[in-house]
């Protein structure tokens, strides 16, 4: 349904596309950057040293939102898919392959 490559520090989309006129991936990217930053703060507060965020999964009634960070956490891919038409394991594997190329 939508995809964006996002700079984690600024929240700006580096590239985006949507098949749904009601879903703006650039706006969603900015808000989801805050999700990533808050999770990083929570990990620091819990002293989870040596741990890194691999991905974040948000499931809605009819959509799956995936945030996949690159290896150093400076960028992430934000993907929105229809939950009824998507195999989650395949979507995660595709994101894993592409996120490694974002460094």
pLDDT digits (tens, 9 = 90+) for 9-55: 999 999 999 999 999 999 999 999 999 999 999 999 999 999 999 99
Eight-state DSSP code of residue 32: H
Find out whether 57 and 31 touch, Cβ atoms under 8 Å. no
Find out whether 52 and 73 touch, Cβ atoms under 8 Å. yes
Cα torsion 83, 89, 90, 94 to 10°: value is: 110
Range 72-98 average pLDDT: 95
Is the pLDDT confidence value at 103 over 80? no
Range 79-102 average pLDDT: 94
What is the model's pTM? 0.92
């Amino acid at each position: 349904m939508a995809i964006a490559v996002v700079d984690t520090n600024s929240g700006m989309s580096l590239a985006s596309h949507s098949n749904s006129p009601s879903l703006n991936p650039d706006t969603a990217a900015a808000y989801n950057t805050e999700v990533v930053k808050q999770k990083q703060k929570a990990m620091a507060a819990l002293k989870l040293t040596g741990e890194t965020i691999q991905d974040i999964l948000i499931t809605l009634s009819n959509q799956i939102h995936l945030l996949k960070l690159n290896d150093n956490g400076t960028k992430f891919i934000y993907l929105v898919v229809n939950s009824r038409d998507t195999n989650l394991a395949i979507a995660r594997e595709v994101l894993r392959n592409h996120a490694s190329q974002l460094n």
